[in-house]
Structure 1
Amino acid sequence: MSEGTNRAPGADGSDGFSQFEGDLRRAERKVAGEIDPGARAVVVAAAVLVAILSMILPHTGSANGIDVLTFAADATTERVTITSRVFVFLVVIFGIGFSMLALVTRRWVLAWIALCGSAVGCVAGMLAWWSRNTPGVDGIAPPHGVGIGLALGWLAMFVITFHWARVVWARTNYQLALEERRRADAAAAEDRARALQRNVTPTTAHTRPAPEDRPASDDLAGPPSA
């Protein structure tokens, strides 16, 4: 039987636990890509509902958020500007769409996308609010000011942005700590491998030289005669 078959499994670390290392790393990467918003999930879900409600409430005058989104005749009559349209699109895509996907799938990357889009939506909401109180380039003022739908939608985007930022930032710190621990584990494993290699490498032994071989007759012979 060869030496490889006589070696006990796990003696050099290549068998036993190490065969599950790939599965453990895949499971670790999966966990690292997930989020656990906890109680913030309820707040974000409530803010998403408010954002949905803002779409059916008046955005300005007789035009609601859906009219602005679909370029309806009421939106044209109310002289809705491009800033309001951009804001409504951001509310639907990021404030509602990606936020719902992030809550359902608990994926970190979707929460990050929802955060970035909602943050841009907060700026767009400010510009949309400003456009309803400022005359256009031709000096004609909008027929109506800010509606309840625009106000609620802007407030919902602030709430969504704040809570997704807290969730994403906490997850980023966790991922950095996990990365640091993985590097430390890899360095420790490399040190163990080097130590094992030094132990199994034969060392030069300082042994006492063997006595010279002499004929058996010399041992049995007496002292030389005078």
Structure 2
Amino acid sequence: MSRHDEDPSEAYRSDMEKAERKVAGEIQPGARAMVVAILVFVLLVSLILPHTGAARGVDVLMGDDKALSVGIALPSRLFTWFALVFGVGFSMLALTTRRWVLAWIALAGSALSCALGLLAVWSRQTAVHGHPGPGIGLLLGWVAVILLTFHWARVVWTRTAVQLAAEEQRRAAAREGQSRSLLDDVDRRERKQPPAAG
């Protein structure tokens, strides 16, 4: 069968499937994009504020002498790294590229950061006598990560009308394809073939 004999509905269907896959892989955060951007900025600010005593978030990230002198534990270091990588890095990537997969990664990493933030605050509150408790930077960062997780969850689970319509159309096409029998496909192919010259 030559390229000119192709069924136009098949070409249209393949174009529609490509467009549906593209739409399904994108997010539309809308006004939440501004909220997420502000929370990312707050998270960055929390890294320059004191996390405990004189140790700032940047000191905790690097694990330098200032952080070691106040007895920074592993949960605090993990929290700052996860907050930086997922709360800042993947959030900004997801906002700029609008990719659904990156938004999912930002959501999962931020959710894990929430638990690590809880452990970090708890470890500072139960620190050995003489070590300072949680600072404003740690508390602000933890609240920012919690809010980021909430907003990424809303963005990831919210489907646009176009995505829902594309999914419904794909389901209808699949149902139609399943209801056709093998003989229907054979009859359709025979009608397309030109009669043999005799």
The 8 Å contact of residues 115 and 164 in structure 1, kept in 2 or not, is answered as yes
The 8 Å contact of residues 55 and 70 in structure 2, kept in 1 or not, is answered as yes
Q: Over residues 117-172 of structure 1, what are the superposed CA-to-partner deviations in whole Å (9 max), with x where a residue is unaligned?
A: 1011111111100111113xxxx335211111101100100110001001111239
Tell me how far apart the structure 2 counterparts of residues 31 and 172 of structure 1 sit (CA, whole Å). 9
1:163 is the counterpart of 2:151: yes
Cα deviation for residue 174 of structure 1 reads 7.8
Change (3 A) 1:40 1:81: same
Question: Under a length normalisation based on structure 2, what TM-score does the superposition of the two structures give?
Answer: 0.83
Find the counterpart in structure 2 of residue 145 from structure 1: 133
The 8 Å contact of residues 46 and 57 in structure 2, kept in 1 or not, is answered as yes
Q: Runs of 5+ in structure 1 lacking a partner?
A: 202-226
Aligned residue pair count: 187
> 22, 35, 42: which one pairs with 1:50?
42
Tell me how far apart the structure 2 counterparts of residues 128 and 142 of structure 1 sit (CA, whole Å). 17
Find the counterpart in structure 2 of residue 181 from structure 1: 169
Tell me how far apart the structure 2 counterparts of residues 65 and 173 of structure 1 sit (CA, whole Å). 42
Tell me how far apart the structure 2 counterparts of residues 23 and 107 of structure 1 sit (CA, whole Å). 20
Find the counterpart in structure 2 of residue 197 from structure 1: 187
Cα deviation for residue 23 of structure 1 reads 2.6
Cα deviation for residue 175 of structure 1 reads 5.9
Change (3 A) 1:92 1:142: farther
Find the counterpart in structure 2 of residue 103 from structure 1: 95
Find the counterpart in structure 2 of residue 59 from structure 1: 51
Q: Over residues 177-205 of structure 1, what are the superposed CA-to-partner deviations in whole Å (9 max), with x where a residue is unaligned?
A: 7444312123335657839939x89xxxx
**Identity in percent:** 53
Moved more, 40-49 or 164-173: 164-173
Amino acid at match of 2:139: A
3-state secondary structure, aligned to 2:159: helix
Greater relative contact order: 1 or 2 (C-alpha under 8 angstroms, separation 6 or more)? 2
1:31 is the counterpart of 2:23: yes
Which is higher, the Rg of structure 1 or of structure 2? Answer: 1
Tell me how far apart the structure 1 counterparts of residues 32 and 121 of structure 2 sit (CA, whole Å). 28
Find the counterpart in structure 1 of residue 63 from structure 2: 71
Tell me how far apart the structure 1 counterparts of residues 33 and 134 of structure 2 sit (CA, whole Å). 29
Q: Runs of 5+ in structure 2 lacking a partner?
A: 192-198
Moved more, 188-197 or 29-38: 188-197
Question: Under a length normalisation based on structure 1, what TM-score does the superposition of the two structures give?
Answer: 0.73
1:126 is the counterpart of 2:118: yes
Tell me how far apart the structure 2 counterparts of residues 111 and 189 of structure 1 sit (CA, whole Å). 33
The 8 Å contact of residues 23 and 163 in structure 2, kept in 1 or not, is answered as no
Change (3 A) 1:17 1:85: same
User: Going by fraction, where is helix more abundant, 1 or 2?
Assistant: 2
Amino acid at match of 1:187: R
Tell me how far apart the structure 2 counterparts of residues 166 and 129 of structure 1 sit (CA, whole Å). 26
Find the counterpart in structure 2 of residue 83 from structure 1: 75
Change (3 A) 1:190 1:197: farther
Tell me how far apart the structure 2 counterparts of residues 177 and 52 of structure 1 sit (CA, whole Å). 39
